[in-house]
Amino acid sequence: MRILSIETSCDETAAALLEFTQKNGDIAVNIVAEKLHSQTDIHAEYGGVFPTLAKREHQKILPLLVKNMLKETGTLQSDTAKSITKDIETICEREPDMLSMIRDNFEKTRIEDIDAIAVTRGPGLAPALWVGVNFARAIATLWQIPVIPVNHMEGHIFSALFNTSGTCSKPQYPVLSLLVSGGHTELVLSPKEGEYKKIGNTLDDAAGEAFDKVARLLGLPYPGGPEIGKIAHTAREQNLAAPVTLPRPMLKDSSLNFSYAGLKTAVRVYLEKNPRLSEDETMALAMEFEDAVVETLLEKTRRSIEIHNPKTIVVGGGVSANKHLREKMTEMINMYPETTLHLSELKHATDNAVMIALAAYIHRNEKTDALSLSADSGLSFPMMQHTN
Ligand code: KG4
Ligand code: ZN
């Protein structure tokens, strides 16, 4: 089966083409092609993602990204019978720029050997999501192929579970996922494939959001997560002492929830009182902040393991690219020999379209009618009542 996937939930415009083959219950995944255009430069001056700008960029970039990928893979053929219908015009009513690009680039074309179009339905920024969703609806209508809507967070889970270079066996369930991104920090339990219950959540800021906001306070560019990771690593290598002890929020709280707004405030208050930090002090403060985030993520994961005995642990989302988190999580899971840890490979930890095709494959029998599909910015796994 071949899936064309599209991701536009935030500030990455991404498309991929994946091929799946099944052999005795194992699945072989082949990334035929993948494309990613990051908008971070555009959003950097705002210190975060600016939704209307993201929408404009996605509209401009996505049709060309997909066209180039399909041309390079020999999948796009001409077909004079395929024209832009009234339905397609209606789908793109709110994205007129995209409609004219679809007209210019895809009218009178068809695609070969693609069984479905997968697209991120949510969660994410509504204006950004709608571009991907409406683009998928439009080309699916033009080419008459089905659409598979995907939950972005489920994409992050499968990005860690699937080994994209070769054959992979199905994971052992229950699977516990720690999902840490710019918009989410949650613990999700899957008793079986495709079934999810949220068992922990952030009460305010997401971990990635805290990384980005603290980076800004430290004068580092957006996105701040990788920048903090770099200087914190140097501070650790140089054995620098933290200039202040920051709080470890919710560590003593018995729930599986997180909170990062207070931690960010603690950094801000410290910087207001100590405005002229040396380079070493800045690096050591970044290290202390990273320690506080990683310790809380680790402790709530450890507690979830004790309560729910998962056989597989997944760490996914942009923050899972953090070196310190990866090392500490690996160390901790080594204490549970019955449990296997899956970390997203670095390239596919942050947003991409490969993860969307991977999750779509699991839902390959849940194809949706393109005309009735909608984006859902608040799409979420159901929350399970905490019983500890
Ligand atoms: O999953 P993702 O690419 O986008 C969302 O779905 O939000 O996550 C982006 C987040 C940003 O907040 C970014 O600063 C953070 O992931 N991030 C990192 C690292 N790489 C990306 N945070 C800490 N360390 C990193 N190496
Ligand atoms: Zn993400």
Residue-wise pLDDT for 75-128, tens only, equals 999 999 999 999 999 999 999 999 999 999 999 999 999 999 999 999 999 999
φ, ψ (nearest 5 deg) of residue 73: -95, 5
User: Which residues have their alpha-adjacent CB atom under 5 A from ion ligand 2?
Assistant: 181, 351
Q: Is the CB of 181 within 6 Å of ligand 1? A: yes
pTM greater than the 0.95 cutoff: yes
Of 381, 55, 383, 48, residue with least CA distance to 205: 48
Domain parsing of the chain, residue ranges: 2-156+349-372, 172-343
Mean pLDDT of 354-381: 95
Answer whether 2-156+349-372 and 172-343 agree in fold.
yes
CATH architecture of the domain 172-343 equals: 2-Layer Sandwich (3.30)
Average pLDDT value for the chain: 95
pLDDT at 388: 47
Residue-wise pLDDT for 282-312, tens only, equals 999 999 999 999 999 999 999 999 999 999 9
Closest atom of ligand 1 relative to the 12 alpha carbon: 3
Q: Is the CB of 151 within 6 Å of ligand 1? A: no
Does domain 2-156+349-372 fall into CATH 3.40.50.10540?
no
Residue bearing the CA closest to ligand 1, atom 16: 318
pLDDT at 385: 65
